[in-house]
Homo-oligomer: A and B are copies of this chain.
Amino acid sequence: MAENSTGGTQTLTERQRQIAAAARALLDAEGPEGLTMRRVADALGIKAPSLYKHVPDKTALELLVVAGGFVEVAEALEAATADAAEPLPALAKAYRDYAVAHPHLYRLMNYQPLRRDLLPPGLEERAAMPLLAATGHDGDKARALWAFAHGMVSLEIDGRFPPDADLPAAWKAGLATFV
């Protein structure tokens, strides 16, 4: 079978896909506390040490989930902006919708340094394309837009805004610079 790698240029084995799916389901349902090796193994009907025949360690397992998330985000942003008359608000909405629907995955993907060495190349670049397109391919504006969107969704999913905060108005205020 394929070398015991995860997410590199090699394709995943069927078991690795099953592991990623089980891990993803636990993360979505229960957050990081639910994502343990024993829980993932239970979901697959095997014991935790058996996972190590398919992934080198827990970090690699998490990165299987992260890689899937990057693909999903890129697809969501691409779909949102494909035919949009105003791609910027459509992109912002799609970005927020994804994070709000998958807060635990969003945190796993975006709240730590990224092990690029253990992820397929091109994931970040693909996810960045819609932001570049929405800002007229201005790299500085695209990065600023990314930072703003990341900040808005992080603070929202972490419940950091006051309860009475008018988020649509804050989004509008912040996006004004990018129109």
Contacts and interface: CB of A to CB of B under 8 A. Distances in A.
Interface size class, chain A:
35 or more
**Number of this chain's copies in the complex:** 2
Interface stretch (A48-56, A58-66, A111-119): A111-119
Nearest to A179: B177
A147 B158 contact: no
A169 to B, nearest CB: 4
Interface of A: 107, 110-114, 124, 138-141, 143-152, 154-155, 158-161, 165-167, 169-174, 176-178
Given A140-B172, A143-B167, 9 more contacts: A113-B160, A124-B160, A139-B166, A140-B170, A141-B173, A143-B170, A147-B151, A150-B151, A173-B177
